Amino acid sequence: MDTKVIRSLTHSQAKDIYRQYMTEDFPPAELKPWLAIEKRLLAQKYVCLGLFEGEALRGYAYFARMNDKTGQAHYLFDYFAVLKPYRNLGWGSFFLRQMQENLPNAGRILIEVENPDCASDDAKRLIQEKRLRFYIKNGVTDTGVTAQVYGVEYRILAYSSGLSPRPEEVRSLYSAFYHSFFPPFLYKRKVLIR
């Protein structure tokens, strides 16, 4: 019997995962302070999901959330990881195939992936290409949009549950997310969307 399940995390579960796993799974430069995440979580502008086998955690995903004028919610993957002992066993693929059912009123789901075309060396490029292939293989679309945020080059992907979004739509939504994260002067200095 398959006991894989995705569930919303409680505030305390999200905080515990941040402290226990995220500080190891993500480089310090990429990890927001917990208080920044918590502020958005309390304002209902953030969603934290856990991937479980029964009651045992196997992975997690944290999303920024933004509602449009119609009330539809759009999401930007902020953090996604499968716990180290469970990587390369299908857990990440399961999550990507099932995640939309666990995101209330989901419209677009955008994903930032480091752009392998801009990797600083061959080893990083191979890792980034592998990550990109993983997402594409699991039904995520490369939108053709690229961005630079705080000097990190990204390709912007979209979870595709129908028609692929137009690049101008992706740019607009992605820009709206970062305008909600940063004051105008910082956005202008640190975010470039192509």
Q: What is the CATH number of the domain that holds 94?
A: 3.40.630.30
Q: Which string of DSSP letters, residue by residue, matches 11-27?
A: HHHHHHHIIIIIHHHS-
Give the C-alpha separation, 38 to 51, whole Å.
20
Contact partners, residue 61, CB within 8 Å, separation at least 6: 48, 49, 51, 77, 79, 80, 81, 95, 99
- pLDDT computed for residue 1 by the predictor: 52
Q: Are residues 86 and 140 in the same domain?
A: no
Task: Report yes or no: 79 and 61 within 8 Å, Cβ to Cβ.
Answer: yes
Q: What is the pLDDT along the chain (194 residues), one digit of tens a residue?
A: 568 999 999 999 999 999 999 999 998 878 999 999 999 999 999 999 999 999 999 999 999 999 988 888 999 999 999 999 999 999 999 999 999 889 878 889 999 999 999 999 999 999 999 999 999 999 899 999 999 999 999 999 998 666 678 999 999 999 999 999 999 999 999 999 99
Give the C-alpha separation, 13 to 32, whole Å.
17
pTM: 0.91
Which residue, 181, 194, 190, 183, is CA-closest to 37? 181
Q: At what angle do helices 91-98 and 122-137 cross, to 10 degrees?
A: 50
- Residue 96 lies in domain: 1-64+78-104
Q: Are residues 161 and 177 in the same domain?
A: yes
Give the C-alpha separation, 97 to 161, whole Å.
10
Q: Are residues 7 and 47 in the same domain?
A: yes
Domain assignment present for residue 71? The answer is no
Q: Are residues 6 and 96 in the same domain?
A: yes
Give the distance from CA 54 to its chain's centroid. 24
Domain count for the chain, please give it.
2
Domain assignment present for residue 72? The answer is no
